[in-house]
Amino acid sequence: MMRRVAILISGRGSNMTALIEAAAEGFPARIALVISNRSDAAGLAHAKAAGVATLVIESKPFGSDRAGFEAVLQAALDDHQIELICLGGFMRLFTADFVQRWFGRMLNIHPSLLPSFPGLDPHGQALRAGVKISGATVHFVIPETDAGPIVMQGAVAVADDDTPDRLAARVLAIEHKIYPQALRLLASSGVRVEGELCRTTAGASADELISPTII
C-alpha cells in the first residue's frame, strides 16, 4: 500500500528533490504534495518539474498565529489525503497540538549527529567542539526542537582544516542518502516508537557510516 507523503519546504528543497527522486525509483510511498510557506521557494519549481503537485500557504500574513496557519495547512493535508509528512528545510515552528496530531508520522532531518549540536549553526558548533565525526540525523518531530526519537543517522569524517561550508557540503550528501531510506522504513512500517526511542527492523552495518541500513 502506497503511503501518501507531503514534503514541507521553505527554500531550495534539496532534500525534497532527493526524496522525490528516490520515490520515483520504486518506493512504498508516493510524494503526493509539496507545500511551501514562501512563494519564492526555489524548490517549488523543482517539484513541479518532477510532476508533483505544489501549494503555497504563505506564513507571513499569520504572524505569530501558529494555530491559524496550521488550520489552513491541516485542511490542505486533509484535502490531499496525506498520511506522512517530511520536513525539508521548513522554517516554521509548529504548536504542540499540531506536532502531537502527527506524532510518529512526521519526519525531520538535522545536519548533526543528534543529540549533539541541535538548533542553529550545527556545523560551526561541531568544528568549535573539535569533533572528529559529524553527520546528519532523521528523527520524528516532537514539540522540542531537534529532540525527537532518532530514526537514522549517517556520518562523515571531520578534517582539521574544515570550514562550516565544506563540512556542510559533505553532510548534505549524507542527508540525501539517509532521508529517503528513513522514509522507506517509516512507509513500510519498519519503525516503532518505544518511549523516547525509535526501534527499526533494519540492521546495523559495521561497513557503513549509516545506521540502520536497509538490505
Q: Which CATH class is domain 108-215?
A: alpha beta
Catalytic residue among 46, 80, 110, 123: 110
Q: What ranges do the domains of the chain cover?
A: 1-102, 108-215
Cβ neighbours of residue 59 closer than 8 Å, sequence gap 6 or more: 37, 38, 69, 92
Catalytic (active site) residue 176: no
List the chain pLDDT tens, one digit each, 215 residues.
Answer: 799 999 999 999 999 999 999 999 988 999 999 999 999 999 999 999 999 999 999 999 999 999 999 999 999 999 999 999 999 999 999 999 999 999 999 999 999 999 999 999 999 999 999 999 999 999 999 999 999 999 999 999 999 999 999 999 999 999 999 999 999 999 999 999 999 999 988 765 545 578 887 64
Equal CATH topology for 1-102 and 108-215: yes
Domain 1-102 has CATH 3.40.50.170: yes
Please enumerate, as own/partner, the contacts of 50-59 that have beta carbons within 8 Å and a separation of 24 or more: 50/17, 50/20, 50/21, 50/24, 52/20, 53/80, 59/92
